[in-house]
Chain A
Amino acid sequence: MAAQVTLKRLVAVALRVGNLTFGGGDPTMAAFHREIVTRRNWLTPEQYALAFGLARVTPGTNLLAFYVAVGWRLMGWRGALATVLAATTPSAAFAVLLTHSAAAWGANRWVTSVFEALSATAVGMTVATAWLLLRPYLRGRRAWRPLVFSGGAAILALGEWLSPVQIVGLAALAGLLWGDTEGP
């Protein structure tokens, strides 16, 4: 049984995941999926997807909008503010530290090696989250539908025919027209 969400637990997750995941917004959102959907059941996959999708179409940095959406969905305004600050302030302080001593850090082989290793783990984490989002729906008569949507989104993004914002909008429209999908 997963622990019930409290502000303290939410801040603890935001602090850990937001400030220890390297590779940018997508790996961080992937790590959040792990912590708040898979391990703690604080959000359903659908609620996570809604936060992910809306964050894509919100002006500014997608990840920060995602933090606000998750925090607000779980604990209202307090949760939104606490999540975004806990997940970003230490990273921002680290960015200032790196900026202040950019030359020294850039030349340090230990730091470089750790960053390289963390970037590689971020790749695996991101692909795993894509798989975990799809896996529960890959059964039954309509198992092909998640593959069509995700494959179509991937092709449109790789070919740079549409922006991620447009792809999310198109997927929502297509999903609305095609109706419900059999799930877990």
Chain B
Amino acid sequence: MSTVLLYLILLKAVATSFSGLASLPVLRADLVEHYRVLTDAELSTAVAIGRAGPGPIGLYVVSVGYFAGGVPGACAGLLALVTPAFLIIPAISFLRGAAGRRELRGAVHGVMFAAAGLLACASLPLARSAITGPLSSSLAAASFLALALTRADTVWVVVGGAAVGLLAAWAG
């Protein structure tokens, strides 16, 4: 499969979805069933890698691209992820002054409060898989307190979490 065709297939899957793994059925239909350049096991591994690494879960598309086409395929995957993101510019350009306009401020605040609710919800499935005992509960609570009560740099929260993880592996 050519890199251009792979890019177009990945772009179709990404651009017709609205969240990280929503592109999965389209990718499976095209790459596993139709073109047969990917196996179900590879697709599962790619999803696991998307979940395990930093950044968006959608980065699993880069892993899929690598399985299907090596490094050029991975580059096609990254490009397919980035391309539709620029569709936001016309919208944000149109609404640029919205935050300051009194008649639209209610709508922006509504979106902000809903965002808080959606973020809180997003933490629940994360918590179900990540909070497995006293150590992970303490880590979650400590990172909450560090962000809610101090102006600490997030990097120190991440570095602290990683250090605790290493200590746990050493002790365990």
Contacts and interface: CB of A to CB of B under 8 A. Distances in A.
Contacts of B91: 54, 57-58
Interface in A122-155: 122-134, 137, 145-146, 149-154
Contacts of A128: 143-148
B162 interface: yes
B1 interface: no
Interface of B: 14-20, 45-46, 48-60, 62-63, 66-67, 71, 74, 77-78, 81-89, 91-93, 95-96, 98-100, 102-124, 126-127, 129-132, 135-137, 139-148, 151, 153-155, 157-158, 160-162, 164-166, 168-169, 172
Instruction: Classify the interface of chain A: helix, strand, loop or mixed.
Output: helix
A9 interface: no
Interface string A45-80: 111111111111111111111111100110000001
Q: How large is the interface on A (under 10, 10 to 19, 20 to 34, 35 or more residues)?
A: 35 or more
Given A26-B122, A130-B120, A54 B95 contact: yes
12 contacts: A24-B126, A25-B20, A35-B153, A52-B111, A54-B95, A68-B89, A73-B96, A118-B158, A120-B139, A127-B120, A153-B121, A164-B118
